[in-house]
Amino acid sequence: MMGFWWRPLGVLAGVLLVALMLWAGSGWVAALGFLAGIQAFVMLRRLWQEYRLARWLESPDEVEPPEATGTWGDIFYRLQKLQRRQHASRSELSNALEQFEHAAQAVPDAMVILNGSEQIEWCNPASRKYMGLDCERDRGQFIRYLMRQAYFLDFLDAGDYSRRLVCKSPVNRELTLSLQLVPFGESQKLLLARDITDLERVDAMRRDFIANVSHELRTPLTVVGGFVETLADAPDLPAAESRHYFNLMLDHTRRMQHLLDDLLTLSRLESDDHAFKDEPVNVPEMAQALKAEAESLSRGRHRISLRLDSDAWLKGSLQEIRSALGNLVSNAVRYTPEGGEITLAWQVRGGEGAFSVTDTGEGIAAEHIPRLTERFYRVDRSRSRETGGTGLGLAIVKHVLTRHGARLDIRSTPGKGSTFSAVFPAQRLEAAAVAPDAATPLPERSRAAG
């Protein structure tokens, strides 16, 4: 800032020197005239520069910034620097705001900013989807007038910022929301709404699953417990009677064993660390083994045939595919009355490999078909139990097929029979190997056929 003074002081000293010289040479009138002239010039110049400055300050973005030399040049330069700095920070601020706005618009959760009187100051597009709010239309509106549900008003009144309100969306009853209020600034609040429909569904499934497993285990456990008590209370029961009880206990124990086996299989299929094996699977050989398994389960009560229209192999997990197809075969035997026909077939159609099991059994009404692969879903609970079913077989099949990019096609006519097909995509098919040596393991488990 010291530099500011040198130039005007230098000019002043020069002017005074010239005035003194004039005084000495031409007398005081000339010196005073000179000083008056300089004064008038300085005043006029200052007036002009002040005018330019005022004009520029009035509309700095439209009018060119004034330029000058000397002290005024310095002042103009500093002002321009200030203006540039202000411009830069203003554009930085508006960039940051723009980015915030973009981010808030992209956030999948609904965000509503409320002022101290609970009027909407701003909201993002997700608030329309979840709460029916429109940022343009509803800005300045009281949130209480727009969302009048009693539970929501109670939530606002409670002002408990640690609490979350779980409720149905007022605009879409199929969505479950979790609402939260977050205070900020002087008296503002941020209302957040998150879609927790999937979480709720998973939670409900978990609860149902536990209830189902408990229910499935309770019956055989009660039966076995009852027989054990009977046998303990009457140790002298005739041998035939006690053998009957032991056989029943064995049946129920096997039932529990099957249930636990299926539960473990499902849990292994679901766990991420369960490595997926991609090995060659000799389907024609497996089909022969499955036919033998069907015959053993049927014990001569059904006519069983196998149609091998292709010698193609599959790529995938031998054990999983074996278990899935085994479940389809076991179901066909269990749900087909005596004298019925069961046909296993392996064919390649339209580039896809289809292993199908057709039976002339009881069939399934159309409304049940989409739900058959749900855990514990059964059309006829007692028929399933009588035949050793756990209600988990088709859930396992669906899991295995999904892991192989395959699908389960179910066609059925009540009273006539059903066809369950596991359809594998072309990329899972492999040409038959020249010397197949991968032995198909024996049946993993056999359910008792009814």
Q: By the criterion CB under 6 A, which residues form the site for ligand ADP?
A: 327, 331-332, 335, 359, 361-362, 364, 372, 377-380, 384, 389-395, 418
**Least distance to ligand ADP from the beta carbon of 314, Å?**
22
Question: Would you say 353 or 391 has its CB closer to ligand ADP?
Answer: 391
Which of 163, 174, 161, 182 shows the shortest CA–CA distance to 130? 174
Beta-strand relationship, 279-281 and 313-316: antiparallel
Q: How far apart are CA 83 and CA 154, in angstroms?
A: 51
- Contact criterion met (CB below 8 Å) for 201 and 195: no
Q: In the complex, what is the shortest distance from the CB of residue 360 to ligand ADP, in angstroms, rounded to a whole number? A: 10
To ligand ADP, the closest distance from the beta carbon of 146 in angstroms equals 47
Sign of the torsion formed by the C-alpha atoms of 268, 270, 272 and 274: positive
CB of 359 to ligand ADP, least distance (A): 5
Residue 353 near residue 424 (C-beta atoms within 8 A) = yes
Residue of 292, 316, 314 lying closest to 304 (CA atoms): 292
Determine the distance from the C-alpha atom of residue 222 to the mean position of all C-alpha atoms in its chain, rounded to a whole number: 41
- Per DSSP, the three-state class of 219 is helix
7, 135, 258, 289, 308 from 284: Cα distances, Å: 104, 64, 27, 9, 7
CB of 297 to ligand ADP, least distance (A): 13
Name residues whose C-beta falls within 8 Å of residue 213's C-beta, 6 or more positions apart in sequence: 259, 263
The β-bridge partners of 408 are 422
What does residue 107 show for φ and ψ, rounded to 5 degrees? Answer: -60, 130
**Rounded to the nearest 5°, which phi and psi values hold at 30?**
-65, -40
> Which of 281/332 has CB closer to ligand ADP?
332
Q: Among residues 95 and 219, whose Cβ is nearest to ligand ADP?
A: 219
Q: How far is the CB of 325 from ligand ADP (least distance, A)?
A: 13
- Shortest distance (Å) from residue 422 CB to ligand ADP: 13
Nearest distance from C-beta of residue 445 to ligand ADP, angstroms: 12
- Polymer length of the chain: 450
Residue 180, SS3 per DSSP: strand
Distance CA 414, CA 416 (A): 6
CA distance 332 to 344: 10
Q: How far is the CB of 394 from ligand ADP (least distance, A)?
A: 3
Q: Which residues pair with 346 in a beta bridge?
A: 308, 355
Tokens representing 444 are: 């993993």
Minimum CB distance to ligand ADP, residue 324 (Å): 11
Count of C-beta atoms within a 10 Å radius of residue 350: 7
Q: Token pair 């701003």 is at which residue?
A: 122
Tokens 């001569």 found at: 300
